[in-house]
Structure 1
Amino acid sequence: MKDNTYKRHIAKTITWRLVGTIDTIILSWIISGDPMTGLKIGMAEVVTKMLLYYFHERVWFKINLSKDGETLESRKRHIAKTITWRLIGTMDTMLLAWFISGNPLTGLKIGFAEVVTKMLLYYFHERTWYKINYGLKSRTSD
């Protein structure tokens, strides 16, 4: 049977990017006070974050975190994925916001604001996708 996990990871990449971009645009607009700065940062992230997120998904798909033959509980795995993704995502956001706004403090503010909003959004995105079987041959119970 054909491996459909690539399709799943692409679908997850797209849905997460939609959620993440909307969050970035709103936060960047509020923090910078300029809706165009928010749009520029959000649109720049579409490209960088989709590539970074796809590779993050592929790496985590290959990681086997098991203890004595037992797979890591899905909620713990999702928390670990949330933390690693947020580290990558925050660095990307801070650098893009700094570059686009021309102000390193604006980049830091936007990056730190996103830590809270994006971790919550990402965790619920992961939990939602965990319940969706798209692209999976079979699933073991949680």
Structure 2
Amino acid sequence: MESKKRSLAKAISWQVVGLFSMAILGDIFTGSFFAGGELALTSCGFGFVAYILHERVWAAVHWGLKAASGVAAPSAG
């Protein structure tokens, strides 16, 4: 299972990538880098929370996990 710090670091790095790509797309479609940036920041905040929740839910799901050799698989109960 991932630590909360790792999940947080992954969420932050992913949102930085998303922020820049969304700002560029917003500029292309609106002609305004400022408008694109506003859209990107709004999307970034929402996506950040959604990503962390999504990762934490999946961390609790044991379906499809395989145990490493010599390590017991997590119990389902």
Q: Which TM-score bucket, shorter chain as reference?
A: 0.7 to 0.9
If each structure's helix is expressed as a fraction of its own residues, which one has the higher value?
A: 1
> What root-mean-square deviation, in Å, do the aligned CA atoms of Structure 1 and Structure 2 show?
2.2
Find the residue that maps to 2:62 and give its secondary structure. coil
Match in the other structure for 1:129 = 58
Q: Which aligned pairs between 1:1-142 and structure 2 lie closer than 5 A?
A: 74-138=3-67
Deviations 1:11-53 (A, max 9, x none): xxxxxxxxxxxxxxxxxxxxxxxxxxxxxxxxxxxxxxxxxxx
Unpaired runs of at least 5, structure 1: 1-70
Greater relative contact order (CA < 8 Å, ≥ 6 in sequence)? 1
Q: TM-score, normalised by structure 2?
A: 0.75
TM-score by length of 1: 0.43
For this pair of structures, how many residues does the alignment match? Answer: 70
**Structure 2 match to 1:60:** none
For the pair shown, which has the larger CA radius of gyration, 1 or 2? 2
List structure 1 segments (4+ residues) > 6 angstroms apart after TM superposition.
Answer: none
Unaligned runs of 5+ in 2: 68-72
**Percent same amino acid at aligned positions?**
29
Deviations 1:78-118 (A, max 9, x none): 01111111111111111111111222111111111123211
